[in-house]
Structure 1
Amino acid sequence: MSDSAASASLSLAPTRQGVSPWFVAVVVALATFMEVLDTTIANVALPYVAGGLGISEDEASWVVTTYLVANAVALTASAFLGRWFGRKTFFMTCLALFTASSVACGFAWDLRSLVIFRILQGLAGGGMVPISQSILADSFPPEKRGQAFALFGVAVVAGPAIGPTLGGWLSDNWSWHWCFLINGPVGLMALALIAIILVQPASVVAENRRRLRDAGGFDTVGFLLVATFLGALEVILDRGQVDDWFGSTFIVRVTVVCVSAFLIMIPWELSRRNPMIDVRMIASRQLGACFLVMLAAGAILLATTQLLPQLVQLQFGYTATWAGLVLSPGGFVTMGMMLIVGQLTSRVQSKYLIATGALIAALSMYDLTNLYSGSDFWFFALSRMLLGVALPLIFIPILAASYDGIPPDKTDQASALINAARNMGGSIGISLAANVLAHRTQFHQSRLVEHLSPSDTGYQHTLDQLTHYFAMQGSSILQARQQAIEWIGQTVERQAALLAYGDAFWVLMLLSLAAVPLALILRTVKLDRSSQA
């Protein structure tokens, strides 16, 4: 078979006669928008989820982190499965599972059922995004692909921008269940359209399967090892604080499983002809640095996407809708910056853009460390908008840098690894922030309580003033005294929480700064001014 024929055999030849490729782009972007939307739509609804299911805020965060981990696991296998089953069949299967599990999430009756359905949703979503990109690449001639991917990029960025506000509005005016149920009609419509407009020649699928068998087939053991490692790591991060870390037999056992899976995975993947994860690629200077930077960027993006709504709802009394509105301006800034950075990537070295983005992200996190009880809406929104400037400077150049030096037959692997790094970094970031928040809240509260002793003149003076105030409101002296003590206790708890949130943002700032030297070790590449992202 000639090279041209071989190349053709790998493509989908996707659209029916007379169907515009732009219609395909819109339908695929719609499905992708729905998947990306679900990475943020549930964040502002977590207090409602916790209240509705009778669980803690920490337990409710599993709704987000399990989705991200499952998504990352599926990403590693999506390239192989898309070629083995055919892109249309695999994409429709993922979309159908995503839609069904979304509706199931809306009818979840307890935390366990919700987490199971979110895992299924994450597994399905992990296969949709990379296959969407492949369908777009095959639907358009090379000279038009940039425009198609621009539309795709808008959908990917608009999801996180719209998700918090939509999720907040649905939670406030309907219920948190609708954050998931809304995917039902959208998913069914996208599924029907894709079934109609895409075609899948059986000969193409058969040829792809033959090639994959010749290359060694599906790395089942490698996939199971990756899933075990990532799943166990997530359990450790999510349950460590609650179960007293290594003072818990359960955490020790899960850690042994996690480390064992990792240690077995490395030599296994090194010995495979067609590994699930090409360890040599991650160990390389270029892709390895990109992988670590993307981990950090994903951690910052998704940790702040969870922390900010939680902060303004619990400590400042915002509704879920207003908590979503705090995040949305940053999303729209990101959309605008996508266009600017797309032009810059052909003129400025990726490593300098990434380093600049990491510094701006660090500045945004530093700004949030200055929060206090009088911080208003625009304090949080402007910090988020500053982060919205930073993220495209990281995400877009890192995609270009990660492909540098990668052979054509490894680009699917590189794409899966970078996308998995973003999701896994997000899961790690959420868990890290939650642990810092819990630990530092206890620390600050214990320090502040040290000043609430009967011998402290400041405390006695405040107590007397508050007692007098409540007595003037009609309370008896005994009731006024009790109300004053309760008010002081609530003030201490709130101040301790605000200080702990500040500490969490400090940690994220340090994480942003750590990405700067990693970015600067990337290779200098030849810039192509004729093609722009």
Structure 2
Amino acid sequence: MSASDPKAAAAAIAPLEGSARVLGTIALSAATFMNVLDTSIANVSLPAISGDLGVSPTQGTWVITSFGVANAIAVPLTGFLTQRFGQVRLFMASVLLFVLSSWLCGMAPNMTTLIAFRALQGFVAGPMIPLSQTLLLSSYPRAKAGLAMAMWSITTLVAPVMGPLLGGWITDNISWPWIFFINVPVGLLAATVTWSIYRKRETATRKVPIDAIGLGLLVAWVGSLQLMLDKGKELDWFHSGQIVALAVVAVVGFALFLAWELTEKHPVVDLSLFRRRNFWSGALATSVGYGLFFGNVVILPLWLQQFMGYTATSAGMVLAPVGLFAIVLSPVVGLTVGRVDPRIYATLSFVVFAIVVGMRARFTTQTDFETIMIPTLIQGIAMAFFFIPLVTITLSGLPPDRIPAASGLSNFARITAGAMGTSISTTLWENRAALHHAQLAEAVNPASPAANATLSMFGSAGFSPEQALAQINRLADQQSFMLATADLFYASAVLFVLLIPIIWIAKPAKGGAGSDAAAGAH
């Protein structure tokens, strides 16, 4: 499902030396950084994008989910395309098409066009991350493979930190299209350096069969499910014929996909991996955990900007500290995961995640900037102990020839869960806010002393009765979304704790293949 085995590639091609290795590492890291950055850079810019293009913030989340779904669907094609066109040519095509689609995103005149270009951007980005890992490993001697992957992992941790901060600054000080335009010079420079160094290190190509029917069914059920989740609230869920049709396509498509893939000689997704206890428990914990994490990362800046008066820059600053502990602790986790039971590390991650969202659930409309930032700082600890141990569990015990397929399948599940987590979180957020608003509105009646006192206060300040009621409604909106945000955070804390037993279903994992492929989890 993904690129060829990184170890095999490294063994087949002599390592680079001197300045070529340094420049190659920088170029590959820059391309990876650009790719991962785009998974989070739009988060804090959603209110600005939505307002500029005339849609609701909930509809604006399609900018995130379209990228994630298309990226997940592209992952299974990486192995096929690598063998058909070669690692270097495919990587170059991925980078250059990513640059083109980024420019198109910045030029999009409306939300429909932007979503289409974001989907294209996510799709062409599919091969970039696994191939950057493979090319980087081929650049280093086997003894320094750990160093190469540590540097690669740090890049993928810094990018999500910089995304909200950079996106917020650009949105406030320039304009939101530039969150996409900045990819153009970075991508062109990375492509130029990569081609100059790696063009003579191309891998052999051969014609291989592709499971076109399996891929088509995959696109059908994943796309239908995501559309159903994204448009459900807007169309009043199953009262809409369109939503019912999407649900039917998703269910039937998924059933046909399972039946086809289990009998196909060259399946696009190797479902037989789910027979392995460590694989399904690790992949399930990773996917649900990542979906919860990503959903919360989208909701927090939306709440801060819409109801707490934060600018895009200040909302990005709240999210930025998440990488501090992650960058410091990740190399330690990578070096020790072979000696410490990774289930212990993963348990620590989910406990810290639960504590963090539990702290956020206690926020109020009076909570200050520093208090909001503290849980984000602590969350970096959870991130450091999340990816590497869970991938070690997921891939442990697998023969080397099955690791690429297993890594690709777990990546597909994780990326899809992240996109769905965004849709589900925003839908639940608005539903809970509507419920709380209705409950608060019941208290505003002629028999309520508090309501009468508030109306009198606004009246004495010169507000008309209609203006006074509008002010009360605005306060009710702020409080209802605050309560809805707390509901989501509390529910997330419970779910993080419930994921811990799933980790312990797995057998003890002993480093090895899993730690080698850990970077692929990002």
**What does 1:1-400 correspond to in 2, within 5 Å?**
13=13, 20-200=20-200, 204-206=203-205, 209=206, 213=208, 217-400=209-392
Write out per-residue CA displacement over residues 341-369 of structure 1, whole angstroms, 9 at most, x where no aligned residue: 22331332111111121111011111111
CA distance in 1, matches of 2:187, 2:488: 37
The answer to whether structure 1 residue 401 and structure 2 residue 396 are counterparts is no
Q: What is the count of residue pairs matched by the alignment?
A: 509
**What does 1:438-457 correspond to in 2, within 5 Å?**
438-457=430-449
Give the AA of the match of 1:396: I
Q: Alignment partner of 2:43: what SS?
A: coil
Compared CA separation, residues 271 and 460, structure 1 to 2 (3 A): same
TM-score, normalised with respect to structure 1:
0.91
CA distance in 1, matches of 2:62, 2:490: 23
- How far residue 25 of structure 1 moved from its aligned partner, in angstroms, is 1.7
Compared CA separation, residues 526 and 185, structure 1 to 2 (3 A): closer
2:68–2:418 Cα contact (<8 Å) kept = yes
The more displaced of 331-340 and 14-23 is: 14-23
Give the AA of the match of 2:351: L
Highest CA radius of gyration, 1 or 2?
1
CA distance in 2, matches of 1:437, 1:8: 47
TM-score, normalised with respect to structure 2:
0.93
- How far residue 200 of structure 1 moved from its aligned partner, in angstroms, is 4.7
Compared CA separation, residues 316 and 10, structure 1 to 2 (3 A): closer
- How far residue 527 of structure 1 moved from its aligned partner, in angstroms, is 5.4
- How far residue 176 of structure 1 moved from its aligned partner, in angstroms, is 0.2
Write out per-residue CA displacement over residues 70-107 of structure 1, whole angstroms, 9 at most, x where no aligned residue: 11111122122122210001101111110000010000
- How far residue 334 of structure 1 moved from its aligned partner, in angstroms, is 1.6
Any unmatched runs of 5+ in structure 1?
1-6
Compared CA separation, residues 109 and 399, structure 1 to 2 (3 A): same
Give the AA of the match of 2:45: A
The answer to whether structure 1 residue 522 and structure 2 residue 484 are counterparts is no
The more displaced of 288-297 and 89-98 is: 288-297
1:298–1:421 Cα contact (<8 Å) kept = no
- How far residue 226 of structure 1 moved from its aligned partner, in angstroms, is 1.2
The more displaced of 297-306 and 361-370 is: 297-306
CA distance in 1, matches of 2:69, 2:91: 20
Give the AA of the match of 1:507: A
- % same residue: 33
Q: CA RMSD in A?
A: 2.0
2:10–2:142 Cα contact (<8 Å) kept = no
- How far residue 262 of structure 1 moved from its aligned partner, in angstroms, is 0.8
CA distance in 2, matches of 1:303, 1:9: 36
Compared CA separation, residues 14 and 102, structure 1 to 2 (3 A): farther
Q: Alignment partner of 2:216: what SS?
A: helix
Q: Alignment partner of 1:205: what SS?
A: coil
Write out per-residue CA displacement over residues 222-281 of structure 1, whole angstroms, 9 at most, x where no aligned residue: 111112121111101111111111111001111111111111111211112221111111
Give the AA of the match of 2:314: W
**What does 1:433-512 correspond to in 2, within 5 Å?**
433-468=425-460, 470=461, 475=462, 479-512=463-496
Compared CA separation, residues 247 and 482, structure 1 to 2 (3 A): closer
Give the AA of the match of 2:487: D
CA distance in 1, matches of 2:464, 2:237: 42
CA distance in 1, matches of 2:82, 2:19: 22
- How far residue 35 of structure 1 moved from its aligned partner, in angstroms, is 0.1
Write out per-residue CA displacement over residues 304-351 of structure 1, whole angstroms, 9 at most, x where no aligned residue: 221111111111111111110000011222212212322331332111
Compared CA separation, residues 14 and 237, structure 1 to 2 (3 A): farther
- How far residue 14 of structure 1 moved from its aligned partner, in angstroms, is 7.4
Any unmatched runs of 5+ in structure 2?
1-6
The more displaced of 63-72 and 502-511 is: 502-511
Q: Alignment partner of 2:269: what SS?
A: coil
CA distance in 1, matches of 2:14, 2:219: 31
- How far residue 282 of structure 1 moved from its aligned partner, in angstroms, is 2.6
